[in-house]
Amino acid sequence: MRRPPLEVADIISARGADYRVAHRGHLSLGQLKALSAIERCRTAELGGHRLHCSKCNTDTLAYNSCRNRHCPKCQGHKREEWMQAREDELFNVPYYHIVFTIPAELNKVCLYATKIVYNLLFKTAWSVIKGFAANPKFLGAKTGMVAILHTWGQNLSLHPHLHCIMPGGGISQQVKWKNTRGKGKYLFPVKAMSKVFRARFTEELRKALLLPDGLYKALFSQNWVVYCKRPFFGPAQVVEYLGRYTHKIAISNHRIRDIENNTITFSAKDYRHGGKTRPVTLTQNEFIRRFAMHILPKGFTRIRHYGILSSSLKKDVIPLLQQQLGKPELPERTKLIHRPCPVCRKGELVTLMTFTARGPPAIILKALLHQFHVPEK
């Protein structure tokens, strides 16, 4: 994929310093650090390294990445590594995609009690799935779930929701696989799940925060959304989905269309009108404000595994299930090249030397300039 002409880093570089000063009291330390890291990512400020390609025998210089999880330029390789690890954990059963969404009335609460609300979202979603799975009427077994937190809408507004994947069944007390009663057509009744989700979430919220009674009345006056899609067509589609959603951030650089006259224009899908792509224009300050809303607190885990897919159980359970149900055959993935050579595009680069923001040693820089026929200044 070609490097996009415009980046989030360009917006932060152009306006970020003024914005951080003007809103110092409203930005957390984590948000300030993330904005600074994105601005400096792959620039001389972070230093660099000398790379060598054994395929074409070329040496190159590259700047260091910030490795911040909110940076649009630092997620690709992490996503590929995570996907490859998940491939080994699949077994031959239908997988379902469930989305848990909290109402917009809680957006302001999310801004000042971020960890509490988002942790409750994870906790309640798993409580609902676990409870319905344990009920003999629906399954009567122990299941598992992978949950991924997204906090944004396409226009960068605050829209917290969980994307969850779970297998269409669970293990009985005899550690035998048991399919859901829907025969692969549906998982659990979503209307019942929605009511239980609303009741449990608001109950836990009352225990955790002192909020106006009017807010709770507003929360119960509307239907909450739990959306369960039809099962995936196969394990390969599960992996494709995981790759699309796991390490996604609020906006990618490729969606930014124009930076002009203190405004930012980017593309966004309008799901209210059939998912058509439309331009959205914001001031630079408003763009940074919305982007910063989606920077999670330090140490907050946005991808979580539960039940038989949790780290404490899957090492023992998954091999047994793969033995019972079979391990799915997946299309052979292209070997992941960590750092492809920019010259031949085939070789993998190996780091020969790292250097600080002061730059590479003069002798190395001179040799590289000579190699690429660049005149010395």
Domain range holding 154? 91-250+295-325
What gap in Å lies between CA 200 and CA 121, rounded to an integer? 10
35: number of Cβ within 10 Å = 24
> What DSSP line would sit under 224-269, residue for residue?
-EEEEPPPPSSHHHHHHHHHHHTT--S--GGGEEEEETTEEEEEEE
Task: Report how far apart, in Å, the C-alpha atoms of 182 and of each of 186, 188, 231, 251 are.
Answer: 5, 8, 11, 37
Torsion sign across C-alpha atoms 359, 360, 361, 367: negative
Domain-located, residue 38: no
Domain-located, residue 118: yes
DSSP code of residue 90: -
Identify the pLDDT of residue 360: 67
Beta bridge partners of 63: 48
Identify the pLDDT of residue 345: 81
> What DSSP line would sit under 44-112, residue for residue?
GGG-EEEEEETTTTEEEEEEPP---TT-TTSSHHHHHHHHHHHHTT--SS-EEEEEEE--GGGHHHHHH
118: number of Cβ within 10 Å = 21
**Residue pointed to by tokens 């006259």:** 261
Contact criterion met (CB below 8 Å) for 35 and 16: yes
Q: What are phi and psi of 87, to 5 degrees?
A: -55, -35
Task: Determine the straight-line distance between the first and last CA of the chain, rounded to whole angstroms.
Answer: 33
What gap in Å lies between CA 336 and CA 96, rounded to an integer? 27
Question: pLDDT tens string for the chain (377 positions)?
Answer: 567 889 999 999 998 888 888 887 788 989 999 999 999 999 988 988 888 988 898 888 888 999 999 999 988 777 877 887 788 888 888 889 999 999 999 999 999 999 999 999 999 999 999 999 999 999 999 999 999 999 999 999 999 999 999 999 999 998 899 998 876 667 899 999 999 999 999 999 999 999 998 999 999 998 898 998 877 777 778 877 777 778 889 999 999 999 988 999 999 998 877 889 999 999 999 999 999 999 999 999 999 999 999 999 999 999 999 999 988 877 765 555 567 788 888 888 888 888 887 766 676 666 655 665 555 54
Identify the pLDDT of residue 268: 95
Identify the pLDDT of residue 377: 47
Domain-located, residue 136: yes
SS3 of residue 42 by DSSP? coil
Identify the pLDDT of residue 183: 66
Of 181, 245, 206, which is closest to residue 106 (Cα–Cα)? Answer: 206
Contact criterion met (CB below 8 Å) for 121 and 114: no
pLDDT tens by residue, 160-209: 999 999 999 999 998 899 998 876 667 899 999 999 999 999 999 999 99
Domain-located, residue 306: yes
Domain-located, residue 140: yes
Identify the pLDDT of residue 372: 54
Contact criterion met (CB below 8 Å) for 339 and 49: no
pLDDT tens by residue, 102-137: 999 999 999 999 999 999 999 999 999 999 999 999
What gap in Å lies between CA 120 and CA 277, rounded to an integer? 33
Contact criterion met (CB below 8 Å) for 246 and 82: yes
Identify the pLDDT of residue 121: 98
Domain-located, residue 23: no
Contact criterion met (CB below 8 Å) for 171 and 142: yes
Domain-located, residue 301: yes
Identify the pLDDT of residue 366: 67
pTM for the model: 0.89
Identity of the amino acid at 345? R
Beta bridge partners of 228: 98
Domain-located, residue 207: yes
Tally of domains in the chain: 1
Average pLDDT of the chain is 88
Q: What are phi and psi of 48, to 5 degrees?
A: -160, -165
Burial class of residue 96 in the structure, from the number of CB atoms within 10 Å of its CB (0-12 exposed, 13-18 middle, 19+ buried)? buried
If you compute the radius of gyration of the chain from its CA atoms, what whole number of angstroms results? Answer: 24
